[in-house]
Amino acid sequence: MASPNFFYIISILFLQLVLVFGNVTLSSTLSTNNNNSWLSPSGEFAFGFRQLNKNNTNFFMLAIWYNKISDKTIVWTAQNDNNLVQAPKGSQIQLTSGGLTLTTSQGDSLWTAQPNNAVSYGTMLDTGNFVLVNKTSTFVWESFNFPTDTLLPKQSLDLSGTLTSRFSETNFSSGRFQLYFNGDNILMSPLAWPTQLRYDSYYSSNVPENYNSSSLVFDELGDIYVETNNINGTRVKPPGKNWGDLVLDSKLYYYRATLDYYGVFTQYSHPRDINAKQGWSIMRYVPDDICIDIRSDFGSGTCGYNSYCSIENQRPSCKCPYGYSLTDQSNQFGGCQLNFPLGCEVDNGEVLNVKPEEVYEYSVVEGVDWPLSDYERLQPYSQ
């Protein structure tokens, strides 16, 4: 007597699991108005909408994130030509045989992923790759092929691929640094803002000539190297004194590699065990010292103008000299500005009503050098 009910309950449970964790079927939608997302089978990765920032409930980004850890770290965002797609409240994403379409509540298209081949279904994989699959089980679109600032194990960057840093820790708009292939070499360059012109590179993977690089690989085990066709050894390790050999264990740790918003390419680890101490740890990074490795005539280094940079706890720290303060109080990488007015009117006592010699003072700053990048200099601007 009990068995029909029992099966009924089982099948309802099963249906719910399929809805949440299974393949994303055609005509499925997600909206910014609810908190739904498409999860990977293990629940470790999610695809869906995230608020643009903590305080903004009116705009969202389409993203993939680690869903089991408390940080809910974002590893991918939808972009158009390197510009973050900002979806107003009420927008929705829909899967059809044509692909993915992100539209506003008025029906305006904001972003699409439209492969040449008809799509049968989509899936958020446990690797963090969201894929669209055709009838014969070929991936016809993969988020892994459109990385933003982060690579995950099993994801590689091909010769035309780039990583672009975000603008700041909490601002996912396209930022000030880029990692890319130039011939056989991985380079990193500052970007002019807002034109995104690449300035001189501050890091090179120094792949020997004739090695014929094919990609930057983040392998299943968690190692990262440039894959080449050289007969004497196909893997070239990124050169750098803070890029050591590691004991890796991807069963115990999540790994990710991110071009951080201050221009450092860093491999991080995070324990999978939710009872272990949470948070991402720095494993290794390049370049050695971002404060002195950016030596371009253009741009203003990692800290912005009128500031100085030092490495603290393996990260750059930006400070303002005496008499200056941060241009944007919430962004230490946004440069500094004078705390006092400057100009002939000041010198003539017209502004502060004091003698010129009382307006200015000298202050000694020890152990600091501004070798280049004295001022922000932007290209391509003529004035």
Ligand X SMILES: *[C@@H]1O[C@H](CO)[C@@H](O)[C@H](O)[C@H]1NC(C)=O
Give the C-alpha separation, 290 to 374, whole Å: 16
Q: Write down the least CB distance from residue 166 to ligand X, Å.
A: 9
On the CB side of 120, CA atoms within 13 Å amount to 8
Q: Write down the least CB distance from residue 365 to ligand X, Å.
A: 28
Q: Please pick, from the candidates 15, 135, 169, 237, the single residue that binds ligand X as defined by CB under 6 A.
A: 135
Of 66, 61, 105, the closest CA to residue 84 belongs to 61
Residue type, 121: Y
Q: What is the CA radius of gyration of the chain?
A: 25
Please say which residue, 210 or 275, places its beta carbon nearer to ligand X.
210
Give the C-alpha separation, 308 to 299, whole Å: 14
Q: DSSP readout, 148-172?
A: SSEE-TT-EEETT-EEEEESSSS--
If one asks whether residue 232 binds ligand X (CB under 6 A), the answer comes out as: yes
Q: Please pick, from the candidates 11, 16, 42, 170, the single residue that binds ligand X as defined by CB under 6 A.
A: 170
Please say which residue, 211 or 268, places its beta carbon nearer to ligand X.
211
Using the Cα atoms of residue 146, residue 129, residue 224 and residue 300 in order, give the sign of their dihedral. positive
| Stretch of residues binding ligand X (CB under 6 A), selected from 1-9, 132-140, 245-253, 298-306 | 132-140
Q: Please pick, from the candidates 87, 124, 140, 291, the single residue that binds ligand X as defined by CB under 6 A.
A: 140
Residue type, 249: D
Q: Please pick, from the candidates 16, 80, 82, 229, the single residue that binds ligand X as defined by CB under 6 A.
A: 229
Place of tokens 């706890």: 313
Q: Please pick, from the candidates 52, 125, 186, 188, the single residue that binds ligand X as defined by CB under 6 A.
A: 52
Q: What is the contact mask toward ligand X in residues 86 to 125, using x (rule: CB under 6 A)?
A: -------------------------------x--------
Q: Write down the least CB distance from residue 381 to ligand X, Å.
A: 17
Number of residues that bind ligand X (CB under 6 A): 21
H or E stretch including 292? helix 290-293
**DSSP letter at 107?**
-
Q: Please pick, from the candidates 160, 210, 353, 382, the single residue that binds ligand X as defined by CB under 6 A.
A: 210
If one asks whether residue 171 binds ligand X (CB under 6 A), the answer comes out as: yes
Using the Cα atoms of residue 266, residue 187, residue 65 and residue 311 in order, give the sign of their dihedral. positive
Positions in the binding site for ligand X (CB under 6 A): 35, 52-55, 117, 134-136, 138, 140, 167, 170-171, 173, 210, 212, 229-232
